[in-house]
């Protein structure tokens, strides 16, 4: 290399009326001096992004040049402005960006990697090296590998039919992961939202590509064998987004989710890929109603109507009226069930834009949210902000706090553990108890309360609540968000809730002084269990076990009156491996409420409970029955005590009897030996670890 000049990949390009045509083709490494470039192009060599303070290179000393300094060999004004004072370069392994000058402005032209081999050291008078930005707007870290150079012509050829123009190939490529489907009203509108996000990306100067992933409907499959695929779908969503983004060389992406597994599935993919990404919640459904009545209906109203019908409290006509009117259109289930819980948790985590969690599915606000999310993903690429910069331990603590205050779903425990696992953040069950001891329940929202999410939307969503928590010292202020601002900065101008609202209680008048999510331990759950106890059901329950080896068996005996007051309804072999799939027990719990037994019966399971479940419920019991956990040893009539204050769940039989039963126990045969459920059962971890499928793999 000639002293004073940078070796780089020559960019084949030509100008037409000041506009760049076909700017991305890259050929072999060449030593290029100003005599070759200056006569042909107005260019500036800028943004010399150093990969580290000590690099490998075999080149001779060199500098960075602007158009005006080609002839002199002096350090350019541009590079001096970008470089710390006193910096000297021996040589670099870096990304070199070419900007095309067009009048008084410049625009990204192309970038090139400079491979080096021997030692390099950057010297600067500053005490810290400048922050490395591997995602500068012109660096195109992943898309360049797929699209740049003559050898990538076949790749480019495949993209012309889907809407690419020649100038698009030099832009950042941002995926739009859509969960659109007509399987469920939760997702039926998301194709439209994906188009809005696409427009936001394109308007910000990048190129968007929409692709789909799956969704399933818990509400439709609940209580059937099909519900075993629900939690599995979280892993399929994560795997499919990771697969598409990774395969297609997308630099970043926006994910839009509706039904509740969409949310954690998308976040797990974001953590695995660690490419700039923004999550958009599809929005909550509006309430249903029956003509002439004032009560608001939702999907849980229908489940509970089934129990009321079985108990002769309503007739066929009223059941049909509720069924036909409860779901009026698009959007996720309307209470503080799992979808709204996880959307709120993700906003508190910093991975969605402010107020994304609290917008109606069909609204101008949601369209704007999608457009802004597209632009935000591009801005994250420019600033070099990645998901793992945001999803820290403190950010997860913020998410847990918001879930508790809202009275959110027990599923948040499972999903936050799984997302944290993907982030390699150490989050454990005991963190929920630790935080829960100092965080109250403030939101009077269904299923345990009165109001729906759409009513919370109408008074400002969760932003005023988060501002209140921040001012009280219950949230970490310095956590980064996808906006590029800290949590505190995003909340700085948030106004309080309107006077007289009754949905969110003040901190000094909580619904419950500590968390409704209680992690229990004991001889029935040595690995932990998750209870949802609002206090309305009491804090302690002792009863005789009524044992069922499946959800269907339990539901039948609840509806026919076999289950009576004072019983602990044990539903086992429903865990991650035993189900497999860890079904939600919404049908049994809704039947219990519909039968009027909500305060008199306690269902417990190694499966899950829906966000719509309420009453004295305990799920996620580990170890699960299928692997020989103590739940497998329970017999009808055994006394069981659940104590939320002591945080214990115990089988009150002698240790010798428990040991005798364990010795006689035999493992059941697997229910599935082929297909996705079998693969899931063979890889899934315990619920206490988030029921993840890529940990401790045999590689």
Tokens 């079985």 belong to residue: 310
User: Which three-class secondary structure state does DSSP give residue 162?
Assistant: coil
Query: Token digits for 693?
Result: 């499928």
Could you give the CA distance from residue 302 to residue 307 in angstroms, rounded to a whole number?
9
Handedness of CA 673, 678, 679, 684 (dihedral sign): negative
Query: Token digits for 535?
Result: 């206090």
What residues contact 503, with CB distance under 8 A and at least 6 apart? 443, 444, 445, 451, 455, 456, 459, 497
Cα separations in angstroms, 478 against 217, 271, 400, 470: 37, 20, 16, 11
Q: Which residues of 522-540 are buried (b: 16+ CB within 10 A; e: fewer)?
A: bebbebbbbbbbbeebeee
**Residue 584 near residue 217 (C-beta atoms within 8 A):** no
What residues contact 294, with CB distance under 8 A and at least 6 apart? none
Could you give the CA distance from residue 403 to residue 420 in angstroms, rounded to a whole number?
15
**Residue 358 near residue 455 (C-beta atoms within 8 A):** no
Q: Which residues pair with 670 in a beta bridge?
A: none
Query: Token digits for 185?
Result: 């009203």
- 610 part of the active site: yes
Q: What angle do CA 410, 521, 536 make, to 5 degrees?
A: 50
Residues in the chain: 699
Tokens 């123009």 belong to residue: 165
Gap between the terminal Cα atoms of the chain: 44
Question: Residue 408: CA atoms inside 13 Å, Cβ hemisphere, count?
Answer: 28
What residues contact 2, with CB distance under 8 A and at least 6 apart? 31, 33
Pick the catalytic residue from 66, 357, 610, 686. Answer: 610
Question: Residue 407: CA atoms inside 13 Å, Cβ hemisphere, count?
Answer: 30
**Residue 569 near residue 587 (C-beta atoms within 8 A):** no
- List the one residue out of 584, 219, 599 whose CA is nearest residue 410: 584
**What angle in degrees, to the nearest 10, is found between the helix axes of 463-471 and 393-405?**
110
Q: Give the residue numbers annotated as catalytic, written as ranges.
A: 610
């Amino acid at each position: 290399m000639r002293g004073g000049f940078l070796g780089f990949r020559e960019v084949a390009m030509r100008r037409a009326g000041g506009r760049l045509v076909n700017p991305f083709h890259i050929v072999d490494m060449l030593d290029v001096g100003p005599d070759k470039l200056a006569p042909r192009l107005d260019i500036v060599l800028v943004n010399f992004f150093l990969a580290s303070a000590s690099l490998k290179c075999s080149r001779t000393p060199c500098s960075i040049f602007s158009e005006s300094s080609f002839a002199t060999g002096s350090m350019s004004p541009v590079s001096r402005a970008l470089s710390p004072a006193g910096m000297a370069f021996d040589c670099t392994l870096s990304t070199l960006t070419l900007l095309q000058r067009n009048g008084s402005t410049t625009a990204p032209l192309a970038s090139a990697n400079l491979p080096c081999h021997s030692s390099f050291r950057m010297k600067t008078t500053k005490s810290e090296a400048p922050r490395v930005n591997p995602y500068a707007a012109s660096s195109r870290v992943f898309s360049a590998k797929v699209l740049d150079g003559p050898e990538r012509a076949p790749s480019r050829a495949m993209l012309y039919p889907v809407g690419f123009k020649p100038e698009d190939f030099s832009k950042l490529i941002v995926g739009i992961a859509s969960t659109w489907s007509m399987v469920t009203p939760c997702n039926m509108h998301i194709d439209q939202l994906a188009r809005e996000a696409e427009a936001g990306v394109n308007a910000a100067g990048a190129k968007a590509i929409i692709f789909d992933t799956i969704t399933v409907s818990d509400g439709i499959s609940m209580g059937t064998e099909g519900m075993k695929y629900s939690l599995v779908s979280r892993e399929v969503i994560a795997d499919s987004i990771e697969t598409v983004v990774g395969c297609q060389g997308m630099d970043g992406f926006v994910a839009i989710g509706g039904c509740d597994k969409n949310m954690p599935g998308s976040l797990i993919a974001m953590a695995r890929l660690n490419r700039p990404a923004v999550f958009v919640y599809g929005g909550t459904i509006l309430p249903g109603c029956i003509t002439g009545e004032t009560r608001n209906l939702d999907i849980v109203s229908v489940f509970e109507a089934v129990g009321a019908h079985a108990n002769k409290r309503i007739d066929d006509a009223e059941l049909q009226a509720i069924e036909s009117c409860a779901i009026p259109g698009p959007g996720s289930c309307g209470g503080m069930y799992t979808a709204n819980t996880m959307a709120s948790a993700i906003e508190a985590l910093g991975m969605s834009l402010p107020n994304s969690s609290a917008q109606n599915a069909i609204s101008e606000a949601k369209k704007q949210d999608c457009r802004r999310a597209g632009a935000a993903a591009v801005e994250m690429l420019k600033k070099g902000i990645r998901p793992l910069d945001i999803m820290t331990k403190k950010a997860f603590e913020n998410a847990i706090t918001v879930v508790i205050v809202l009275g959110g779903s027990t599923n948040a425990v499972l999903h936050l553990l799984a997302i944290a696992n993907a982030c390699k953040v150490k989050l454990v069950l005991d963190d929920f108890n630790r935080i829960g001891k100092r965080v109250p329940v403030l939101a009077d929202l269904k299923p345990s309360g009165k109001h729906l999410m759409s009513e919370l939307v109408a008074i400002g969503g969760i932003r005023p609540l988060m501002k209140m928590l921040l001012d009280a010292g219950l949230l970490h202020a310095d956590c980064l968000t996808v906006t590029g601002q800290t949590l505190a900065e995003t909340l700085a101008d948030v106004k309080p809730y309107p006077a007289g609202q009754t949905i969110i209680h003040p901190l000094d008048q909580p619904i419950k002084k500590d968390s409704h999510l209680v992690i229990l331990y004991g001889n029935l759950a040595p690995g932990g269990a998750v209870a949802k106890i609002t206090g309305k059901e009491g804090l302690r329950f002792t009863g005789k076990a009524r044992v069922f080896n499946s959800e269907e068996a339990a539901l039948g005996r609840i509806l026919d009156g076999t289950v009576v007051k004072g019983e602990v309804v044990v539903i086992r072999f429903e865990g991650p491996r035993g189900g497999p799939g860890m079904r939600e027990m919404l049908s049994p719990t809704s039947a219990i409420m519909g039968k009027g037994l909500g305060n008199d019966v306690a269902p417990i399971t190694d499966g899950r409970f829906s966000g719509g479940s309420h009453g004295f419920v305990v799920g996620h019991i580990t170890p699960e029955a299928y692997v020989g956990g103590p739940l497998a040893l329970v017999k009808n009539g055994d006394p069981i005590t659940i104590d939320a204050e002591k945080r214990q769940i115990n089988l009150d039989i002698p240790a010798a009897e428990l040991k005798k039963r364990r010795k006689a126990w035999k493992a059941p045969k697997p229910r599935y030996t082929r297909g996705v459920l079998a693969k899931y059962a063979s890889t899934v971890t315990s619920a206490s670890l988030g029921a993840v499928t890529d940990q401790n793999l045999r590689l």
